[in-house]
Chain A
Amino acid sequence: MQKPILEARNITKTYQMGEVTVHALKNLSIEFYPGEFVVLLGHSGSGKSTLLNILGGLDKATSGEVYFNHQLISEYNENQLTEYRRDSIGFIFQMYNLLPRLTALENVQLVAELANDPMKPEEALMILGMEHRADHFPSQLSGGEQQRISIARAIAKNSPLLFCDEPTGALDFKTGVLVLEALQRVNQEMGATTIVITHNSSIAELADRVIFLKDGQIQNIKVNKEKKSVRDISW
């Protein structure tokens, strides 16, 4: 069996809201393997974002450990976490988060410059079919286009991990399909471990594994023997 690239052990995350303690994650353990496409499913408030943020070094767990390639990420300081994100993770956000004062191409270039072994920014745009929008500023692009630029930006680093928190959340159905298709294709071609958060269960069929979260715990893990492609899914 393959060794996990990313591993969370006994993660607990609590938020103190005055008198009340909110348990966002409760003693959660999970492993992720190289190249797999994982979907995190669950109702709003089930702890998906919290988990992804802890895995991505944006947030610290109250207790428990996170390992990336056997490195104990959860003990890292701020600077180390920055380096971890810089070298190892591509992020895709619900609101795309493109830098408004840079063109599409520049957004990709800027992030590619961070990586040791980046893809050519033009090539990343090409993979997403966005080369004809290279010189446009984000404000001149539609939401779907922006999200595809944002994916190009994430993959240009050639990083081993790709984290997507509700990438289709702000898009209409048709555009959402295009974006997901792009994500799946990128996962197959580039082989980065891809974790996608959604609360749309239809997306689940695209994944190698689907992890169901409920009240901060893993309720169920479903392994898809045969992954469907975006086109085959009935939405």
Chain B
Amino acid sequence: MVNKYLIKSLLRELLHLKSQILSISLIVGIGVGVYFGFSSTHQSLLESRDHFYQEYNFPHLFAHLHKTPNYLLSRIKDLPGVKDTEGRIEHDALLTLPKLKEPGVVHFVSLPNGKQPNYSKLFLLQGRLPSAHSNNEVVISESFFLAHNLKLGDKFSANINGSKKTFVIRGVGVTPEHIIALQPGSSFPDDLHFTIAWVNHSALAPLLNMSTSFNSLVIQLNQPHYQDSVKSQVEQMLERYGLLQLLSRDKQMSAVYVREELKQLDVQAKTIPIIFFLVAAFILNIVISRLIRSQRTQIATLKSLGIGNYSISTYYFCFSLVIVILGTILGFVIGSWIGRNMVMLYGYYYHFPILKYKFTYHQLFISLLFSVLTAFFGTTKALKNIFRLSPAEALKPPTPINYKNKWLEKSLFFQQLAIQLRMIVRGVITTPIRSLSVGLGLSFAVVLLILGLFWNDSLNALMFSQFGIRQKETGQITLSREMEAKVVKQIERFPGILMAEGYRSIPVKIKFNNQEEVSSIKGFPVNYALTDVINETFTPLKIPKDGFHISKNLAQKLSASKGDILEIELLEGRKRKLRIPILNIMDSFYENQILTSRSHLAKILQTDDLVNSILFRTYLDPSELYAKLKNLPAVTSITYKDAAVKKFQETSAKFLLVFAFIFSLFAAAIGFGITYNNLRVTLAERDWELSTMMILGFRQSEVFKTMAHEITLLLIVFVPVGWVLGFYNARWILMKLSMEEFPIPFSITSLTFLIATFVIVMSTLVSYFIIYNGLKKMDLVATLKSRG
């Protein structure tokens, strides 16, 4: 029954309700935009990453070892399942840069002289590789290069094995292995103080006495599924040489970071839009129901003329369809804008050789499908009334709603309420579906806001736990070898150092319940003061004189609990095996560690009291401290907590602020859309009643309150529902997104709830304001006549 008359009438109706329609389209548009934008960004990045991994030979396995002779390479290569191997030298050294006051760390990775390696090839963003015979040219990672505004040709010096050497920057690059340049053992990228430097093998090897050996190995497999068997063979073969770490590609730090970041996008693309589609369906239901109710006479007339239910329903469905399609188009515009910008933003971090924004027809199709489903679910409920309506019945006035609710009316509490309030409560409960739609819509807006805001709280909690209460040290000095504990006293005597405490960390492999984890045992002084050790319930723990605490996440990975006995194997020296009982579980947010006292560790290892790291507290400027310490030969690195944290907080704060702002806008659109549409419908349905009240002498504000406070009542009930839903939703999302390697504590402050509430209340007030002005324009006499 598509004919000119109906199309015209459809258009007229749409035009008449244009502001309502736009508000619904906007909500659909945001839903589509978020889905389309996030999923196309995800897709674009995924493809670029895979392309990078593929083209630049990202290997399957990574091993870190002590110095190991080169001839082993060919033996590993001969193992079944292994396609190829490549040995490298990796080395961390203290870095000085004329522009950088405090010390940095440079992580050297050797290159075949003047050539690309076979695996983890360099993608050069600028400049060139070191020339074949140079022994001082390097390519460095971009984030450091940019953070210090460096130019090609700039120099830095590094303290390698006690001798200071100057390097010239000839290129800027990235490999699939270092998409995110992370200092080993650190959880935050610290662009100011950390860089990777690719250097000729011949430049690095003599300094480390490793001309015929390697300490880093990459393995390419014939088939990825050989991974486990190859891993155990390699472990066996290299055991004697001191295998520190053997990681598969999926555990490799940079790969984990990129993967988790992409997963985050994917999860958000698939969860957040649901809120918008649901809310749009709710509003459509309210608006279409109203439309059908007000047109029951026409519908009945059409029916008596022999036009079928389905044809009439199609008309209203088309009405919804126009709204959602308008929204979808808007969504494509919003989405591709979001996508383009996000891909660009990620481009700054990821430096994939090829990074182009693109979307797929699949994504377009899914967006459209969800919009149409929204229209479908938003309309069907209302369309049922068309089927129910018999022509004869429709010509009579609609059966009035029965406001008598026995249970409610009899309650003493209800009888005590002011009349206006009773009127409002009845209005809410006699249209339960509509009230629930509005209420849930408002809850969802709150949920959305909490999802946008809680990241800040959780990251603050992380910062606080890591750098606030628990770690009072200013920074840490890493020594290149184990030294007598008296070095701590020496450092503490340096003017400006307030306190210094040395600890000893040794790598271990833990076995429990057929689970294996690589971790480290840290031995701390018994009267340890710089860091609090706390248990899961935040009660301080003492450093055990002869026992072990293990961190919560490690315990979880091993499914071990207090009292269990772990089998551990020391990865250094004579590879001794020990059985240790778990004394306590510590709350440790991201470090997989086992804690004991240094004296206990020394006893087990049958050594003197040795340390390889020193924590310190100082009021010295990093540059001053560095000037004092840089000539100590055994110092590998000095890291300042503050600088890393500040930098991280700055970047994340900026990002989170934008994120929160956009979410607030989205939530406000929902809050406004749902309250505005509901009020418009109420205004249309009750115009007669409202004008009666005004004629009887009620002031406009009094009349307005009787309708608006139905929404206020729903706000009072459903905003707290939104708090609860938001709380659990945020916790769920955090759980889903949190990396095993880097769990973020879940935290929401009351300020977040307050802001969420504020935004929703404000968006509601805006629709109150618009509707209130609409009420002003109401022509009392005309309105009365229209029903008289």
Contacts of B682-710 to chain A: CB distance below 8 A = 688-689, 692-700
Contact between chains at B420 and A93 (CB < 8 Å): no
Does B732 have its Cβ within 8 Å of any Cβ on chain A?
A: no
Contacts of A77-107 to chain B: CB distance below 8 A = 79, 82-83, 85-87, 89, 91, 93-95, 97, 99-102, 106
Output the least CB separation between B65 and chain A (Å).
80
What separation, in Å, do the CA atoms of A102 and B699 have in the docked complex?
Answer: 19
Does A114 have its Cβ within 8 Å of any Cβ on chain B?
A: yes
Contact between chains at B697 and A114 (CB < 8 Å): yes
Contact of A58 among B693, B698, B781 (CB under 8 A): B781
Output the least CB separation between B316 and chain A (Å).
26
Interface size class of A (residues with CB under 8 A): 20 to 34
- Known contacts A82-B700, A95-B788, A139-B401: does B422 contact A58 (CB below 8 Å)? no
Does A140 have its Cβ within 8 Å of any Cβ on chain B?
A: yes
Does B400 have its Cβ within 8 Å of any Cβ on chain A?
A: yes
What separation, in Å, do the CA atoms of A59 and B116 have in the docked complex?
Answer: 90
Does A113 have its Cβ within 8 Å of any Cβ on chain B?
A: yes
Residues of B within 8 Å of A95, CB to CB, are 787-788
Does B305 have its Cβ within 8 Å of any Cβ on chain A?
A: no
| Shortest Cβ distance from A84 into B: residue | B697
- Known contacts A95-B787, A106-B422, A113-B419: does B400 contact A82 (CB below 8 Å)? no
- Known contacts A58-B780, A139-B400: does B697 contact A89 (CB below 8 Å)? yes
Residues of A within 8 Å of B688, CB to CB, are 97
Contact between chains at A87 and B401 (CB < 8 Å): no
Does B426 have its Cβ within 8 Å of any Cβ on chain A?
A: yes
Contact between chains at A102 and B696 (CB < 8 Å): no
Residues of A within 8 Å of B1, CB to CB, are none
Does B114 have its Cβ within 8 Å of any Cβ on chain A?
A: no
Does B403 have its Cβ within 8 Å of any Cβ on chain A?
A: yes
Does B404 have its Cβ within 8 Å of any Cβ on chain A?
A: yes
Contact between chains at B696 and A111 (CB < 8 Å): yes
Residues of A within 8 Å of B695, CB to CB, are 56, 58, 85, 91
Contact between chains at A86 and B400 (CB < 8 Å): no
| Shortest Cβ distance from A112 into B: residue | B419
Contact between chains at B697 and A101 (CB < 8 Å): no
Does B662 have its Cβ within 8 Å of any Cβ on chain A?
A: no
What separation, in Å, do the CA atoms of A56 and B320 have in the docked complex?
Answer: 43
Does A147 have its Cβ within 8 Å of any Cβ on chain B?
A: no
Does B427 have its Cβ within 8 Å of any Cβ on chain A?
A: yes
Contact between chains at A106 and B696 (CB < 8 Å): no
What separation, in Å, do the CA atoms of A175 and B391 have in the docked complex?
Answer: 30
Does B423 have its Cβ within 8 Å of any Cβ on chain A?
A: yes
Residues of B within 8 Å of A114, CB to CB, are 696-698
Interface flags, B402-430, vs A, CB<8A=1, else 0 = 11100001000000000110110011001
Contact between chains at B423 and A102 (CB < 8 Å): yes
Residues of B within 8 Å of A99, CB to CB, are 423, 689, 692-693
What separation, in Å, do the CA atoms of A79 and B700 have in the docked complex?
Answer: 9
Contact between chains at B781 and A53 (CB < 8 Å): yes
Contact between chains at A100 and B420 (CB < 8 Å): no
What separation, in Å, do the CA atoms of A79 and B701 have in the docked complex?
Answer: 11
Where chain B touches its partner, the secondary structure class is helix
Does B784 have its Cβ within 8 Å of any Cβ on chain A?
A: yes
| Shortest Cβ distance from A105 into B: residue | B419
Does A109 have its Cβ within 8 Å of any Cβ on chain B?
A: yes
Residues of B within 8 Å of A97, CB to CB, are 688-689, 692, 784
Contact between chains at A86 and B697 (CB < 8 Å): yes
Residues of A within 8 Å of B784, CB to CB, are 93, 97
Does A68 have its Cβ within 8 Å of any Cβ on chain B?
A: no
Output the least CB separation between A128 and chain B (Å).
17
Interface size class of B (residues with CB under 8 A): 20 to 34
What separation, in Å, do the CA atoms of A110 and B422 have in the docked complex?
Answer: 11
Residues of B within 8 Å of A102, CB to CB, are 419, 422-423
Q: Which of A82, A97, A101, A137 has the most CB of B within 10 A?
A: A101
| Shortest Cβ distance from B420 into A: residue | A110
- Known contacts A58-B695, A87-B697: does B788 contact A94 (CB below 8 Å)? yes
Interface flags, A105-143, vs B, CB<8A=1, else 0 = 010011101100000000000000000000101111000
Residues of A within 8 Å of B401, CB to CB, are 100, 139
Contact of A82 among B409, B699, B787 (CB under 8 A): B699
Output the least CB separation between A139 and chain B (Å).
4
What separation, in Å, do the CA atoms of A69 and B693 have in the docked complex?
Answer: 24
Output the least CB separation between B691 and chain A (Å).
9
Contact between chains at A59 and B781 (CB < 8 Å): yes
- Known contacts A94-B788, A106-B422, A110-B420: does B698 contact A86 (CB below 8 Å)? yes
What separation, in Å, do the CA atoms of A91 and B409 have in the docked complex?
Answer: 29
Output the least CB separation between A7 and chain B (Å).
21
| Shortest Cβ distance from A94 into B: residue | B788
Output the least CB separation between A192 and chain B (Å).
15
Contact between chains at A101 and B694 (CB < 8 Å): no
Contact between chains at B697 and A100 (CB < 8 Å): no
Interface flags, B759-786, vs A, CB<8A=1, else 0 = 0000000000000000000001100100
Contact between chains at A85 and B696 (CB < 8 Å): yes
What separation, in Å, do the CA atoms of A58 and B419 have in the docked complex?
Answer: 26
What separation, in Å, do the CA atoms of A114 and B403 have in the docked complex?
Answer: 24
- Known contacts A87-B697, A111-B696: does B402 contact A100 (CB below 8 Å)? no
Output the least CB separation between B346 and chain A (Å).
55
What separation, in Å, do the CA atoms of A144 and B69 have in the docked complex?
Answer: 108
Residues of B within 8 Å of A110, CB to CB, are 419-420, 423
Given contact pairs A93-B788, A101-B430, enumerate 11 new A-B contacts (beta carbons under 8 Å): A58-B695, A82-B699, A85-B697, A91-B695, A93-B692, A97-B692, A99-B689, A100-B401, A110-B419, A114-B698, A140-B404
Which A residues are within 8 Å of any B CB, using their own CB?
53, 56, 58-59, 79, 82-83, 85-87, 89, 91, 93-95, 97, 99-102, 106, 109-111, 113-114, 135, 137-140, 153
List the 5 closest pairs (A to B, CB-CB), nearest first: A86-B697, A139-B400, A85-B697, A97-B692, A101-B426
30 contacts between A and B (CB under 8 A): A56-B695, A58-B781, A59-B781, A82-B699, A82-B700, A85-B695, A85-B696, A87-B697, A91-B696, A93-B788, A94-B788, A95-B788, A97-B688, A100-B400, A101-B423, A101-B427, A102-B419, A102-B423, A106-B419, A110-B419, A111-B696, A111-B697, A113-B419, A114-B696, A114-B697, A137-B403, A138-B400, A139-B400, A139-B403, A153-B696
